[in-house]
Every structure is written in structure tokens, then in C-alpha cells.
Structure 1
Amino acid sequence: MPDSVSKVDPRRWKALAFIAIAQLMVVLDATIVNIALPSAQADLGISDGNRQWVITAYALAFGGLLLFGGRIADLWGRKKTFITGLAGFAAASALGGAATEPWMMFGARGLQGVFGALLAPAALSLLAVMFTEPKERAKAFGIYGAIAGGGGAVGLILGGVLTEYLDWRWTFFVNIPFAIAAAIGAIALIREPSEARNRSALDIPGVILSTLGLVSLVYGFTRAEAEGWSNGGTIGFLIASVVLLAAFVVVESKVRAPLLPLRVLTDRTRGGIYLSLGLAIISMFGLFLFLTYYLQIVQDYSPVKTGVAFLPMMTGMIVGSTQIGARLMTRVPAQRLMGPGFLVAAVGMLLLTQLETDSSYTTLILPAQLLLGLGMGTSFMPAMSLATQGVRPQDSGVASAMVNTSQQVGGAVGTALLNTIAASATTAYVADHAAGAGGSATAQKMVELQAMVEGYTTAIWWAVGILLVASLIAFTLIRGGGRSSVPAGAGGADGEEKQDEPVLVAMH
């Protein structure tokens, strides 16, 4: 029986704690280094032109290798892949913390991305094959969803504290105890069903095309942020990504053992989840960027105070994921959670379009963050669960990798797209108001701050629209959840997943 492991092995709940630690380490690493970057740049002598590679090296390796990492988990075993990812991530973090030259830092961040691409899909797919009973699955994915959504805010807080009170190097070294604890727990507690392995030959052409295509896509959007959308290199990489990924789809439709079976993508619910989740991450990453700059530059918050200021969002995500999403996942359809969840998040984002240079944190920013957190947490939880529900156990690694890929690509697109919109609005505001500010330095400074806020609010309006589109997709495409008795990996007698049967049976 597919869910026998879930019902028999009580250690899976203890194992969940260590899987959660590993996931937190990967997610917070996307933001923890951002706050430490100015100090690291000064200490290592990294030029302004090259500092982007501290972020970009991680994003390219992580985003480009996720599908490969998911397939390795299916082929090699999730537990083994999980532990290998932890060990490699810890070693790369040690190298980054001990860096004395820029190239050491860039190399360490790239290696973190490589091993993160092994670790992240292995963690999610372990949950998929360990928790298959609907109510237990809802609780497990509620915890995982809260961490996946709130880890970025934790990274901002932890990065601020470590940078301000210790040293930027500790934003790397802090990963080591996390990794050791998670590895020890995994060795002792994690058991995965033996039938969940996929021992088919590795699809080498698929690996090459998907890796190059995803790297080109992420780097194209990264270049757009720095060089502009009309830059020849930006256009070239984006076109190359389209060509490579199209070739990847063609190859996957023809090879005997594809890296990414197209049935994983063509399922209506999973396709809707990947798309809506990616759009939501676009909005969320843009918000992290703008709100961090707003609080530090416009409101003059310290790094630590800025990190703490994100606590309401993290609290909202935890409540939305564990108390709303997890409790309702087995009772109502996922579309009735994800659709309204994205709408609530859009209302929170809408409040932030009212930002001024002197806006009150208590009356505007705090309630906006709570709504954002509640909405995102409620939406992320069923998304994480349903993205891996109904797939063959042998495909759970690549299905999990697609969740991470949609998040990673969404983050790259969000940072580039919304930052470009904000920069254009800021430039236009300065051009319109600089002459009226006179020669006073104070007046010029005020215009600059107002221009920054104008740029942020303009981009946030776009983020509101993107969240509304994510909500529409959730309402129209996503099915599943509710009173389902269909466990992950359940299929017909031939092992095929039941693509055409709706998971939803009834609702209250």
C-alpha cells in the first residue's frame, strides 16, 4: 500500500523537523547574504561591477541545476541525495565564510547553489513519499510551506543580527550547525519507501538542455536588472533560453526515460500551481527588495531593525500555512484556499501602494505585512502539497524540483522586472520635480527620497496586478484537495497516475 510507510513509521514526524531545518537553511540563504553584502564587498575588495556575482553565482547554479537535482534524487535515492546536499552545502558555506579573495566568494556561492539544487528537491520529495495520508500530509506540508514562505524574512533578520553584532562571515558559518544537525537527524530517522526509486538511465541531452536553458533564463533576467531590457546580452540570453527550453520539451517528448516526464507538467492542477506560484514569488521578491530599501534608506532603520520589521509577515505566513491551510486542506478544494489566499495577499500589497516618506509602520506597513503573510501562507501550503500529489513516487523528485524552479525563476523575474519599473518611475519623478526643489541640499534630498518612494509604489501596483493574475489562475486551473482519498503516487494497475480523474470528491 503506498501510504504504509506513513502509517507504520512514527519517526517520520521527527524526521520532518530535520527536513524543515534543511529547507530553512536553503531558503534563508537567498536573503541572508544580501544584508551582509556591503560589509563583505568592502572586506574582500570586490568591485561594484562584480558584486552582483555574490548573488548571481548562487542563483544561476541553483536555478540551472534544480531539474537535474530532482532527477538525481529519484535515481540515487532521496535520503542519500539529501545528506550529500547537506554535506556539500556546509562545505561551500565554510569556504564562503573563510574567503580572502573575491574569486573564493564567487566560487563558494556557486557551490552553495549546486548543492542547494540537490538538497531542495530531495527535501520536498521526501515529504511527498513519507506523508501520503491526507490529514497528516496537510500538517506536514503546512509546516514546510510556512518555512518555504517565511524563510526569506528569517534570512533578513538573521543576516542583520549576524552582520551588526558579529561579522559578515557568520552569515555563511551559521549554515554549518544547521547542516550537521539536519544530516544527523536524516541518517537516524529518515526512511523512504524502496519502490520510490527511479532507476531509469539518466537523460543526458535533457540534463544539458534544461541546465543551459534555465541558466540562460535566470541570467537573462539578472542582466536585465543591471544592464536594461534593450541590452544585446540581455536579449541574447533570453532568446537562447527560449530556444534551449523549447528543444528540451521536444527531446523530453521523444526519449524513453525523460529527465522531466511531460505528464508532470501537462496535468492541469500541477501546471496551474507552478504558474501561480511563480507569479506570486515575482510579487514577493519585489516586495522584499523594495521594503528593505524603504525601511533602511527612507525610514533610516538599522539592519537589525529592518529584519525585525519583517516579523509580522513571517508570523502571518506561519499562521496562514499551519492554522488555515493545513486545517482546511482536507476539507475544501485547493482553489478555495489558493485563490482567496492570493487575493488577501493582493489586498496587503495594495495597502503598500499608499507608502509615503513618513508612513507609519504600525498603521500601514504592519497590517499590510500581516495580510501578505496570511495570504501567501494559506496559498503556499496547498501548492506544496498538490504539486507532488498524484505523481508516481518515481517522479516525485522532478515534480518537487519544478516547485523550486518556479520559485527560483519567479524570484529572478520579480527582482529584474519590478526593479526596472521602479527605477524608471524614480527617474521620471526626479526629472519632473528636480527643478522645483531649488538649490537647497535638504530639498534635493527630499525629492530623491520621494522619487524612491514613487518608484516603489509604482512597482508595487504591478505586483498587485500580478497577484490578481495568480489568484485567477488558481480559481480556474487548480483542482484537488478537499475530501480526497487519493494518495500521492496512487495510480492504476499499470502504475500510471490517474491524470484524468479529479482528486476532488466533495466539498462542504
Structure 2
Amino acid sequence: MALGILCTGNLMIILDGSIVTVALPTIQQDLGFTQSGLAWVVNSYLIAFAGLLLLSGRLGDLLGSKQVFIVGLVVFTAASLACGVASTPWALVTFRFVQGVGGALASAVALGMIITLFQNAAERAKALAVYAFVAAAGSSLGLILGGVLTQSLGWEWVFLVNVPIGAAAIVLTLRSVPGLPGIGLREGADVAGSLLVTGGLMLLVFTIIKADDYTWGDARTLGLLAASLGMLAAFVVRQARAAKPLLPLHIFRSRTISGANVIMLLMVAGLFGFQFCTALYLQNVLGFDALRTGLAFLPAPVTIAVVSLGFAARLNQRFGARPVLLGGLLLVAVALALLARVPSDGRYLVDIVPAFVLLGLGFGAAMPALMGQAMAVTSPTDAGVASGLVNTTQQVGASLGTAVLATVAASRTASLLADRHSQADALTSGFRLAYTLSAAFVVVSLLVAAFVLRTPRTAKPADAEPAPSDASAARS
């Protein structure tokens, strides 16, 4: 029951990052958004969400993960209602930012709570497979649900659908999800570090988003990038010297955790860029409408569900996380390489579906294995911050991948249009270049997995942990 509640709450939050995408043209028409202003319906959510994940994860360790999860659900649900009844552009953008705050609070601690709840190796592998399915397929499901709701009920329902789900999740969490007390703010209330990392991450995501407008070589982009990286560097220095750091740097001593987060960044960058480009290819080249575009993604989440829920746990138990991760990443890279060959007169069943199925097979196998590696903490008190870290890595990777690949595709298309190529050929060539770069991201992540991650020397269970300290045993 607890696993179902945590995954449902997290799925609702992940869906919200993509469900609004299909509804954007209708929102623009009804509320009178400008073209540049419309992007902030998505960007305001992403900036708040990505910027607060790390802080939210640490708050879960300090105040108690269950308490932070419930507060996040309350904020997210209330903001969803406000978005659904918004009547002006500024109101919708403001409440989307608040949604991102609530989403960060809830999502950052969910994975850490699952790790804490499931101590048995086999059960933890199954739980991680379910959570990984939510993380892997949620964005694609959002595109499908967004198309259905927008076309049948109106754009307001891409937000209002969260209200009954969120309310039920809050009640069920209070009743059915066990929770441990936090270690207290006195153990890690690093205010300066919190301001640095939150500001740095928000500015970094903002910079990545605006790079599509300014270009990466523009002085404004470089200045914002330098400022964001400077704040994050100051945060690292602060954590190395602080008596009670927000992010204990000792977790990076583990090659497993460090390598897993690098892999997550690269893999998600490639896959989110693929999703963005494929949606545009289906609509602008093949002529699909919003609903048909959403449904066209269905083979990917279905395949992810079959693999992650049906086979991933057994594969990880049988072969170990590292070999499964390597095989999954290889399949994802092959799928993206296939998409890099799509023609301007492509056929959905021939040119898209096989790649979707391969991608689902690879991602469904890789994601649970990678989640387990990224959460390989040795102390329960680090579970929240490790959960917040891997979620932050995902969001930065998604923003980076979408911005870089969109820029590359647009630049290639503009160059070919200037040479008087047809619209369809120019667009398709831009998307092919973006798919090639996506595949390159995944290949690099495969190399990191091969040469940085290590296979344990002994045949211990994947989640074997050292004996808990007296303090943690007393808390349990």
C-alpha cells in the first residue's frame, strides 16, 4: 500500500512536467499568451522543481520524509486547483511555479522512503522496478493523457485532474505510509548552503532554457552560466567547510553513487531530447494532431511497463545491476540510432514503432538498475539527500538535453531552409541530427557505466547494508 501511494503521488508530479505540453496551443488561445510568454507555462514549473529538489531531499532527512512528502502533496494539489481556474497568463505562470515547489518537496523524498521501507533485497528490487517505471514512463504517459484531456474536456483538466488524485494521496499517506522522525534541523540547517544551491540550480536551469533564445555563444548566456556555476562552486566549498552541511560530500566518495548520477544526467539528456524532437516530427512532418501524437508514444511506456514491472527485478537479482544497466543502455543507444535515420516521408509503424519498442526494452531494464546504484547509501540519514540528488540530476539532464537538442535541430533546419530545401526535408534533417546527438549522450553514459561502476567482488545482495548504528537502530 505504501509503495502504491508513494508511486502514485510521484507519478502525478512527473506527469505534470509533460501533460501540459500538448495543451499549450489551446492555453495560448484562451488566455492570450504571447509566443515567448507561453514557454513559461512549462519553464516556471521546471525552474522551481529542479532548483528545490536537493534542498527538499535534505529537509526530508531533517524533518522526516513523510512530513515533507505530505506538505509537498498539499502544496502541489492546491496549486493544481489554482492553475485550473486561472484566468490570466501571469496567474497561471505564478501557480505553475508553486506547483514546482510542491512537486520538488514530494518527489525528492519518495525514492528515499522506498529505500528505507524495503530492506529485503528481493522486495527492494521489485519496489525499485515499480518506481523506475513511474520515473521512466511518466513523461510519455503525460503526453498521452494531455492529448486526451485537452481534446475531450479542455486544457483546464490537465491541472484539475490532479486535485482528486492529490487529495486521495494525502489521506492515504496519513493513514498507511509509515514514517521515521527526522534527525532535526540542528543537525543540518545550513541556510547559506541552501540559498547557494537553490539559487545556483534555478539559475542554471533558467540559463539552459534561455540558451534556446540567446544561443550558447551569446554573452548573456555565458554570463548567466558563469554566475550559476559560480554559485554552485561556492556551494561545494561551503559544504566542504560547514560543520553541518546540507549535502554531505562524503556520499561522492562512492564511485557507485557518483557514476550513477553522471549516467543519469547523460541518459536523461538524450531521452528527453528524443521525446521533444519526436513530438515535433510527428506533428510537423507526419501531420499528426495533438491526440494522435500523444497516443503515438504509447508503445514506449507499455514496453517499459512490461520490462520494468515484469522482468527487471529478476534480471537484477540474477545477473546484477551493472550488466543489466550496460545491456539496457546499449539497447537505448541502438533505438536512438535507428531514429537518426527517419525519412521526411516516414511511416509510423515502420520508422517509429520499432525504435520505441527497443527504447522501452532498454530503458525499462536500465532505469531500475540505475536507481539502485544511485541510492547505494550506507546510512539511512543520507537517503533523503541521495534521493534529492538523483532527482536533481534527472531534471538538470532533462532541461539540458531538451535545450541543446532543440537548438541543434533548429540551427540545422534554418541552415537547410536558407539553402531552399523543402520544409519537411529541413525539419527532418534537424531532427536526425538531434537523434544522433541523443545517441551520443547515451553512448557516453554506457562508457561511464562500463569503466566507472564496479561489480561487487562478493555475491552479496544488492542492498546489503552494514549494521545500523545505535542511533539509527533506536530511531527504527
Q: TM-score, normalised by structure 1?
A: 0.89
Tell me, in whole angstroms, the C-alpha distance in 2 between the residues paired with 1:154 and 1:72: 29
Tell me, in whole angstroms, the C-alpha distance in 2 between the residues paired with 1:359 and 1:291: 12
1:468 matches 2:443: yes
> Residue in 2 aligned with 1:285?
272
Equivalence map 1:184-263=2 (5 Å) = 184-194=171-181, 200-263=187-250
1:336 matches 2:323: yes
Q: By how many angstroms is 1:303 displaced? A: 1.2
Task: Give per-residue Cα distances to partners, 1:97-152, cap 9 Å, x unaligned.
Answer: 11011111011110011111101012111101101211000000100101100000
Q: By how many angstroms is 1:491 displaced? A: 5.2
Task: Give per-residue Cα distances to partners, 1:220-245, cap 9 Å, x unaligned.
Answer: 11011122112222111111111111
> Residue in 2 aligned with 1:177?
164
Which residue type is aligned with residue 484 of structure 1?
K
Contact preservation (8 Å) 1:217, 1:237: yes
Q: By how many angstroms is 1:494 displaced? A: 8.0
Task: Give per-residue Cα distances to partners, 1:353-401, cap 9 Å, x unaligned.
Answer: 1111221211221010011111112111012122222331111111000
Q: Which moved more, 1:179-188 or 1:251-260?
A: 179-188
Is the alpha carbon distance of 1:343 and 1:197 closer, same or farther for their aligned partners in structure 2, counting shifts above 3 Å?
farther
Q: By how many angstroms is 1:55 displaced? A: 1.1
Contact preservation (8 Å) 1:346, 1:468: yes
Give aligned-pair identity as a percent. 38
Tell me, in whole angstroms, the C-alpha distance in 1 between the residues paired with 2:378 and 2:237: 21
Tell me, in whole angstroms, the C-alpha distance in 2 between the residues paired with 1:136 and 1:349: 32
- State the SS of the aligned residue for 2:340: helix
Which residue type is aligned with residue 431 of structure 2?
Y
Task: Give per-residue Cα distances to partners, 1:66-108, cap 9 Å, x unaligned.
Answer: 1111111111111111111111100000111110111110111
Task: Give per-residue Cα distances to partners, 1:383-436, cap 9 Å, x unaligned.
Answer: 2122222331111111000111111000111011111111111122222334xx
Q: Which moved more, 1:29-38 or 1:318-327?
A: 318-327
Tell me, in whole angstroms, the C-alpha distance in 1 between the residues paired with 2:369 and 2:349: 30
Equivalence map 1:24-35=2 (5 Å) = 24-35=11-22
Tell me, in whole angstroms, the C-alpha distance in 2 between the residues paired with 1:89 and 1:205: 26
Q: By how many angstroms is 1:188 displaced? A: 1.2
> Residue in 2 aligned with 1:415?
402
Q: 1:154 aligns with which of 141, 158, 164?
A: 141
Q: How many residues are matched?
A: 471
1:136 matches 2:123: yes
> Residue in 2 aligned with 1:102?
89
Is the alpha carbon distance of 1:246 and 1:139 closer, same or farther for their aligned partners in structure 2, counting shifts above 3 Å?
same
Tell me, in whole angstroms, the C-alpha distance in 1 between the residues paired with 2:110 and 2:116: 10
Contact preservation (8 Å) 1:196, 1:393: no
> Residue in 2 aligned with 1:61?
48
Is the alpha carbon distance of 1:494 and 1:152 closer, same or farther for their aligned partners in structure 2, counting shifts above 3 Å?
same
Contact preservation (8 Å) 1:150, 1:313: yes
Q: 1:426 aligns with which of 413, 430, 449?
A: 413
Tell me, in whole angstroms, the C-alpha distance in 1 between the residues paired with 2:254 and 2:165: 36
Unpaired segments ≥5 residues, structure 2: none
Is the alpha carbon distance of 1:282 and 1:465 closer, same or farther for their aligned partners in structure 2, counting shifts above 3 Å?
same
Contact preservation (8 Å) 2:64, 2:182: no
- State the SS of the aligned residue for 1:35: coil
Tell me, in whole angstroms, the C-alpha distance in 2 between the residues paired with 1:364 and 1:127: 38
> Residue in 1 aligned with 2:370?
383
